[in-house]
């Protein structure tokens, strides 16, 4: 549907005759929870109350595989290259950067309040939201809040929290996810007392993030769990997939240089994995209690419960120590489960979605569509889910370092005074995850010049990079719609070039930037031989250096050629590149 200025105005101002029509939201956001290592299988209450009663989105992705940038992406509905909150700390990220960029006045909770919602949040919000800057300025947009604060956020038994912007309170000795649980139940009861207004409650415990003490000195550990869960999962091990500590090195750049993991490390990683599963049990209990309270307050039928994580996690895959920040499936493919009015029970949805889509989804349900955001609402009803699947792309990006977790933090070449070795520095990349019925792959361009392409139909473990000489036979065999690897590569590189700069509509329909006549809507359309020359001639995605933040001048070509312009050059001969970035609007 093409929206005109007029229809957008009508849509935007659609009045809600009765506030009671607006649904409530309970949003449970875990920290670093994986999909690929099967963590959901170890959460029986989540299975019972959400998976069996709701829809699991099995192709859901984060777009930046690290906490703060991912959370800002999630709560603003905008790509990280547009928020420019790309790191955990200033100058490139963290709470101060979120504030500096104006999002404290312009993000989901504020928009929900404008739509008549009471809004609440407890747990971790962003990194670099600290015991010192918690009220400078206070977080805006919540009627009730109780935030975990740095530098204690990742200490499971030493939380500091600010309630409604007041002086931080210590919870030393109490188990952080349980503290969050009780605060969440309190907010749920507060919200239920105001029957005239719908509510949104964010619940963000740190489980199953690793325990990390940063003052007075850095100490990295496995996640900590509550005593009542200590007896669980004594025998569990990380799934021994093909990419688990592989014999041959895999990946590119610093990943390719990782040594084989020793038995000592593997043992530690398995215990790390078990600790994660135990830490998640506290979250599992939250799921049950939330559903029960909603039910006893008579609110369950009109409440969407959304369950997801900020990013995924790897442990030992590709020989990696515990951590995230990579474009591998372990890090970007994450759980998303939705239970609520009209959402099919026990259903598995195959639509491709990302965190950028969740704020648009919530706003849609709350009564105000926002097509200016970078995501689009995901289908929730049986009817919407039955429509032929349109989207196939996820735009993934990253700037900065990969940081190892756990006590053997040994990767990388980057030293910081006072910290020592902090990780692998050259971890800046642009990636495209394309997933359709006939093809599924990951394409990544790194700041180092490395490129990766994994054909995930044949190589779901991402062990054979088709750009590697050793995989040349696989590249020679590779076809999509009868076209060769290099023909496919030309197309997807152009798609990535559009996506790395996309904004609003161009993020939803990136092919329309290259083909404004809408003749191309998918990779298959673009693969027609008549476009061969056009795609071959496109500027290629590249970097001139590895930076820790989004420095545009270092990020290669910024404009794609447009098919119509190439076909019908303007009189006078000089080609004018189509400027889409930032200038696209629904009115053009």
Q: Which residues bind ligand NAG (CB under 6 A)?
A: 84, 91-92, 113, 118, 143, 194, 413, 426, 447-448, 545-546, 549-552
- Asked if the bond preceding 208 is cis, omega within 30° of 0, the reply is yes
- How would you list the strands of the sheet with 451-455, edge to edge? 393-398, 429-435, 440-446, 451-455
User: Of 91 and 569, which has the nearer Cβ to ligand NAG?
Assistant: 91
Least separation in angstroms between CB 265 and ligand NAG: 22
3-state secondary structure of 486: helix
User: Of 371 and 409, which has the nearer Cβ to ligand NAG?
Assistant: 409
Neighbours of 20 (CB within 10 A): 12
Least separation in angstroms between CB 308 and ligand NAG: 25
User: Of 41 and 194, which has the nearer Cβ to ligand NAG?
Assistant: 194
Q: Which residue is nearest to ligand NAG (CB)?
A: 546
Residues 6+ apart with CB under 8 A from 135: 162, 165
**Does 326 qualify as catalytic in the annotation?**
no
Residue 101 structure tokens? 């960029």
**Residue 346 burial class via C-beta count within 10 angstroms: exposed 0-12, middle 13-18, buried 19 and up:** exposed
- DSSP calls for 93-132: BSHHHHHHTTGGGSSHHHHHHHTT-EEEEEE---TT-BTT
3-state secondary structure of 204: strand
Pick the catalytic residue: 67, 502, 507, 546?
Answer: 67
Closest CA to 405 of 256, 275, 230: 275
User: Of 539 and 549, which has the nearer Cβ to ligand NAG?
Assistant: 549
User: Of 158 and 448, which has the nearer Cβ to ligand NAG?
Assistant: 448
Least separation in angstroms between CB 16 and ligand NAG: 15
User: Of 4 and 106, which has the nearer Cβ to ligand NAG?
Assistant: 106
User: Of 86 and 440, which has the nearer Cβ to ligand NAG?
Assistant: 86
Contact 436, 523 (CB under 8 A): yes
- The Cα 493–Cα 486 span in angstroms is 10
Least separation in angstroms between CB 473 and ligand NAG: 28
- DSSP strands (E only) in 5-114: 24-30, 55-61
User: Of 195 and 577, which has the nearer Cβ to ligand NAG?
Assistant: 195
- The Cα 449–Cα 451 span in angstroms is 6
- The Cα 201–Cα 123 span in angstroms is 11
Neighbour-count burial for 106-131, b at 16+ CB within 10 Å, e otherwise: ebbbbbbbebebbbbbbbbbbbbbbe
Give Cα separations from 38 to 32, 237, 238, 333, 334 (angstroms).
13, 11, 9, 11, 10
Angle formed by the axes of helices 263-296 and 176-192, to 10°? Answer: 20
Least separation in angstroms between CB 197 and ligand NAG: 6
- The Cα 569–Cα 301 span in angstroms is 57
User: Of 550 and 580, which has the nearer Cβ to ligand NAG?
Assistant: 550
What one-character DSSP code corresponds to residue 2?
P
Interior angle at CA 129, CA 24 and CA 420, nearest 5: 135
Least separation in angstroms between CB 415 and ligand NAG: 12
Least separation in angstroms between CB 549 and ligand NAG: 5
Beta-bridge partners for 435: 440
Residues 6+ apart with CB under 8 A from 160: 131, 148, 149, 152, 168, 169, 170, 171
Least separation in angstroms between CB 445 and ligand NAG: 13
What residues act catalytically? 67
């Amino acid at each position: 549907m093409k929206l005109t200025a007029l229809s957008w105005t009508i849509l935007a101002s659609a009045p809600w005759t009765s506030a009671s029509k607006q649904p409530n939201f309970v949003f449970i956001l875990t920290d670093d929870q994986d999909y690929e290592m099967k963590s959901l299988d170890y959460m029986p209450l989540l299975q019972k109350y959400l998976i069996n009663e709701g829809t699991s989105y099995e192709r859901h992705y984060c777009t930046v595989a690290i906490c703060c940038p991912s959370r800002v992406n999630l709560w603003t509905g905008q790509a990280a290259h547009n928020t420019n909150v790309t790191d955990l700390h200033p100058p490139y990220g963290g709470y101060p950067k979120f504030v500096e960029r104006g999002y404290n006045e312009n993000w989901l909770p504020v928009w929900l309040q404008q739509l008549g919602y009471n809004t609440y949040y407890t747990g971790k919000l962003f990194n670099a939201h600290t015991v010192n800057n918690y009220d400078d300025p206070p977080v805006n947009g919540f009627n009730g809040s109780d935030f975990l604060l740095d530098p204690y956020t990742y200490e499971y038994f030493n939380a500091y929290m600010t309630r409604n912007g007041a002086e931080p309170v210590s919870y030393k000795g109490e188990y952080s996810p349980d503290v969050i649980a009780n605060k969440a139940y309190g907010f749920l009861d507060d919200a239920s007392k105001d029957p005239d207004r719908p509510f949104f409650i964010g619940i963000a415990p740190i489980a199953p993030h690793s325990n990390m003490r940063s003052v007075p000195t850095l100490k990295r550990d496995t996640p900590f769990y509550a005593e009542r869960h200590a007896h669980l999962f004594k025998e569990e091990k990380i799934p021994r997939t093909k990419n688990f500590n592989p014999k041959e090195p895999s990946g590119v750049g610093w990943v390719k240089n990782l040594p084989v993991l020793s038995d000592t490390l593997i043992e530690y990683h398995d215990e790390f994995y078990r600790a994660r599963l135990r830490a998640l049990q506290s979250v599992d209990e939250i799921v049950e209690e939330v559903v029960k309270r909603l039910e006893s307050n008579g609110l369950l039928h009109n409440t969407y419960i959304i369950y997801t994580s900020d990013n995924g996690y790897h442990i030992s895959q590709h020989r990696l120590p515990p951590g995230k920040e990579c474009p591998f499936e372990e890090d970007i493919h994450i759980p998303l489960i939705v239970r609520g009015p009209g959402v099919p029970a026990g259903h598995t949805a195959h639509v491709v979605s990302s965190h950028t889509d969740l704020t648009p989804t919530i706003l849609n349900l709350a009564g105000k569509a926002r097509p200016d955001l970078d995501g689009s609402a995901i289908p929730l009803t049986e009817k919407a889910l039955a429509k032929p699947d349109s989207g196939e792309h996820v735009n993934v990006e990253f700037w900065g370092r990969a940081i190892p977790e756990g006590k053997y933090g040994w990767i990388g070449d980057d030293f910081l005074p006072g910290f020592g070795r902090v990780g692998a520095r050259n971890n800046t990349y642009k990636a495209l995850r394309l997933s359709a019925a006939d093809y599924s792959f990951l394409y990544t361009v790194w700041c180092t010049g490395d490129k990766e392409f994994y054909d995930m139909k044949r190589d779901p473990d991402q062990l054979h990079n088709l750009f590697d000489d050793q995989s040349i036979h696989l590249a020679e065999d590779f076809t999509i719609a009868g076209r060769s690897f290099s023909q496919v590569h030309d197309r997807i590189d152009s798609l990535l070039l559009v996506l790395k700069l996309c904004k609003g509509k161009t993020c939803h329909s990136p092919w329309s930037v290259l083909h404004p006549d809408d003749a191309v809507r998918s990779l298959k359309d673009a693969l027609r031989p008549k476009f061969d020359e056009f795609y071959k001639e496109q500027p290629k995605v590249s970097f001139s250096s590895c930076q820790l933040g989004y420095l545009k001048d270092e990020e290669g070509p910024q404009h794609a050629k447009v098919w119509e312009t190439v076909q019908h050059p303007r009189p006078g001969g000089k080609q004018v590149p189509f400027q889409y970035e930032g200038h696209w609007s629904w009115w053009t």
